[in-house]
Structure 1
Amino acid sequence: MPVPAHGSWLADIAAARHGLDRSSTAGRIADLLREQITEGRLAPGERVREEELAEALKVSRNTVREAFRLLAKERLLVHEFNRGVFVGRVTADGLADLYRVRRILECEGVRCAPEAPPGAFDRVEAAVLDGERAAAAGSWPDVGTADIRFHKAIAALVGSDRVDEMIRHLLAEMRLVFHEMGSPREFHEPYLARNRRIHDLMARGDFAEAERELRSYLDDAEAQLTAAYREKAAKKPRRRRD
């Protein structure tokens, strides 16, 4: 999968610099970088240069370093000694843990759907429609972005700021996992119809069946991704022992 164009994500972040004075600067920079990762514009292993960010945002390098520290705690960035800061990679063990937590949060979202906050269910439908439109246009990376928004909207049915924050961090890591798949279309296309089915089941009030479908969906996705990880690991040349 091609690495996203470097200049595009940096330009997006630079365009947002005027809003930095309205919130904690380091936290807002972390939010901007996390958003670029979630949107698929920063790929695993890509270097994030401290000096470029500081210049683009007109902030100190110390402030950028603090943003980096925040994202390192979320496992989205890693610092490599004498090399710099890079977008992280999710390990096979990390993948299993991501799905473990996602089942807790997203299935609870479906159970809470009957009492969801106003407008929350509309965001589920909007994400489904975004994915279908992107697929029709042949824009499969955008299908991936819509899929992330769909699962974020499912968890948001709980109506909890803490859950929203947790799922936002988890799905940023999931977007890094998507990069491990060779073909965005091959991975995402089968799940479009399943997103629609989960939405439609909830829309007609069949929340128990919607939860069963979601659990099956997450099980299948985890199994598919785990198989891809194992295949990649098998293809890596083994280090010779002297």
Structure 2
Amino acid sequence: MERDQDQLGRGSTAERVAGVLRRRVTEGDIPPGTRLSEEVVGAALGVSRNTLREAFRLLTHEWLLVHELNRGVFVRTLDGDDVAQLYRLRRLVEGAAVREVAGAPDRVIEEIRASVEEGERAAAEQRRPHVATADLHLHHGIVRLAESPRLADFMLRFHAELRLAFHAMGDLRRFHAPCLIRNRELSAALKARDAQQAELLLSVYLVDAERQLLRAFADREPLSSSG
């Protein structure tokens, strides 16, 4: 975790530690159900136990971690209800953001296009987890069309929870491969400043993605109840 220690910088705080762990979750490095040992994580990041516990508390409030009595701290495992709530929020926030595309800065449009290419390269190189990460980068770019730093920061935290839902798919290629074409189409609509077309493409994308995830969670339920 050397690069994580670099990110902490001088005078590391619980917020910075939480930021490192949040990023690791968002990038798919820490899957749901992972136990976070205070000893192991604290030593890896070079922080005190008190600082780490405060970071765990912050991430628990963000719905990323859960404390289980006499067992420790774990990365949350989501269910179908979580997915439904996450996608309802995505429709509200991202749907509103694309309507702001007419006045959005060119640099945000370019960042969205770069995220599309990032995902396509990752798919071509069989770096499947990075396809999901690129997809989240694109959708964070969509939120930034609204030019609200507070909203963009909120969605960074939200996307970490969303990444936990993606793990239910198992084969991320099956989930994200169709998105590569849709993301290219969505990027083109945004570049053309066509808010109506972009909102339509985004709406269809989100409905289909939610349906796939809910189906995946439903398929997992008998396994979890029997075991």
User: Normalising to structure 1: TM-score of the pair?
Assistant: 0.89
> Larger relative contact order (C-alpha < 8 A, sep ≥ 6)?
2
Which of these residues, 194, 197, 200, is aligned with residue 206 of structure 1? 194
Partner in structure 1 of residue 25 of structure 2: 37
For 2:65, give the aligned amino acid. L
Structure 2 counterparts to residues 20-169 of structure 1, below 5 A: 20-21=10-11, 25-117=13-105, 119-169=107-157
| Matched residue SS, 1:119 | helix
For 1:231, give the aligned amino acid. D
Displacement after TM superposition at 1:237 (Å) = 4.5
Q: Give the whole-Å Cα distance in 2 for the aligned partners of 1:36 and 1:12.
A: 11
Pair 185,162 (structure 1): closer, same or farther in 2 beyond 3 Å: same
Structure 2 counterparts to residues 7-26 of structure 1, below 5 A: 10-17=1-8, 19-21=9-11, 25-26=13-14
Displacement after TM superposition at 1:119 (Å) = 1.5
CA offsets per residue over residues 127-186 of structure 1, 9 Å max, x none? 101001111111111111101111111111111112112211221111111111121111
Partner in structure 2 of residue 183 of structure 1: 171
**Residue 109 of structure 1 contacts residue 158 of structure 1 at CA under 8 Å; is this kept in 2?**
yes
For 2:219, give the aligned amino acid. E
For 1:40, give the aligned amino acid. G
CA offsets per residue over residues 62-111 of structure 1, 9 Å max, x none? 11000000000011011111111111112211110100111111112211
User: Normalising to structure 2: TM-score of the pair?
Assistant: 0.95
Q: Give the whole-Å Cα distance in 2 for the aligned partners of 1:108 and 1:96.
A: 18
| Matched residue SS, 2:197 | helix
RMSD between aligned alpha carbons?
Answer: 1.5
| Matched residue SS, 1:180 | helix
| Matched residue SS, 2:70 | coil
Identity among equivalent pairs (%) = 44
Q: Give the whole-Å Cα distance in 2 for the aligned partners of 1:159 and 1:91.
A: 32
Displacement after TM superposition at 1:54 (Å) = 2.2
Which of these residues, 204, 210, 227, is aligned with residue 222 of structure 1? 210
For 2:7, give the aligned amino acid. A
Q: Give the whole-Å Cα distance in 2 for the aligned partners of 1:171 and 1:162.
A: 14
Gaps (5+ residues) in structure 2? none
Q: Give the whole-Å Cα distance in 1 for the aligned partners of 2:178 and 2:155.
A: 23
**Residue 20 of structure 1 contacts residue 28 of structure 1 at CA under 8 Å; is this kept in 2?**
no
Pair 62,237 (structure 1): closer, same or farther in 2 beyond 3 Å: closer
**Residue 100 of structure 2 contacts residue 195 of structure 2 at CA under 8 Å; is this kept in 1?**
no
